[in-house]
Structure 1
């Protein structure tokens, strides 16, 4: 899974939906996917942009965003171009 781009997960502490998003990511994390968690409450611009959308995944390579809810198949579809390039 090293061909997958690093991701940013925007959320807040004590966010049950953020915890659910992390659960979806778990199989990929176990395979080496890098995810940086960012607490939007610490940045006014991020809070304004994401407060009604969290959790949100952002690809660090393209800037593409995926809003929760998503399941593993939807996440894999979102990352499909990376998986095809790495094949």
Structure 2
């Protein structure tokens, strides 16, 4: 069974590293990491938005920037 959350990110992305720190601070549930580099469709959809956290179950997305409070509220 895959995670309900997906973090779309890029290689060597400082903002993505910050998003991972926020996810760790919140103790977010398990999530999949998808690197968009080299995937034309994902680059078109998320290219300038990464990092983006997507709730696959609800079909909602949380764009960066987000902090601990914002992420907790979004996950609730």
TM-score by length of 2: 0.89
Task: Show structure 1 runs of 5+ residues with no match.
Answer: 81-87
Unaligned runs of 5+ in 2: none
* Alignment of structure 1 residues 1-87 onto 2, 5 Å: 6-27=4-25, 28-29=27-28, 33-80=29-76
Aligned-pair Cα RMSD in Å: 1.3
Higher helix fraction (1 or 2): 1
Deviations 1:25-75 (A, max 9, x none): 00314xxx1111101113110000000100000002111000011001100
Quote the Cα distance in structure 1 between the aligned partners of 2:22 and 2:75. 14
More strand by share: 2
Alignment partners' CA distance in 1, 2:24 and 2:75: 15
Offset, 1:77: 0.8
State the 1:20 CA deviation: 0.2
